[in-house]
Amino acid sequence: MGFGGVIISDDIGAAVAISNIPAGDRAVDFLSAGGDMIVSKYVEPANRMAAAVRTRVDSDPAFRSRVDDAVRRILAAKDASGLLPCSD
């Protein structure tokens, strides 16, 4: 469809509709589906999501590449908006 921006989740840390899915799986699934930035209202599920993403990055080169792409897209958007300390 040509969208080139950052894809940000709604709160997937406390979302009732997907509460039966472990937080780590939610994060990995969101990133695998093309999402870039995960939002979590609460710290505990965010920690579980971060740990799951790190574990998957360490064991899956294709997923690591997907996460690298997401990080680059986020940093490019921040840079374009002048939000990075090194932005001119």
Q: Is the pLDDT of residue 23 over 80?
A: yes
**Residue 87, in any domain of the structure:** no
Residue 88 forms part of a structural domain: no
Range of the domain at 74: 8-80
| Rounded mean pLDDT, 56-84 | 96
Within a domain: 21? yes
Is residue 73 over pLDDT 80?
Answer: yes
DSSP state string for 26-59: HHHHHHHTT--EEE-SSHHHHHHHHHHHHHHHHH
Q: 1 in a domain, yes or no?
A: no
Average pLDDT, the chain: 94
> pLDDT digit string (tens) for 35-48?
999 999 999 999 99
Q: Structural domain tally of the chain?
A: 1
Residue 62 clears pLDDT 80, i.e. is over it: yes
Residue 51 domain flag: yes
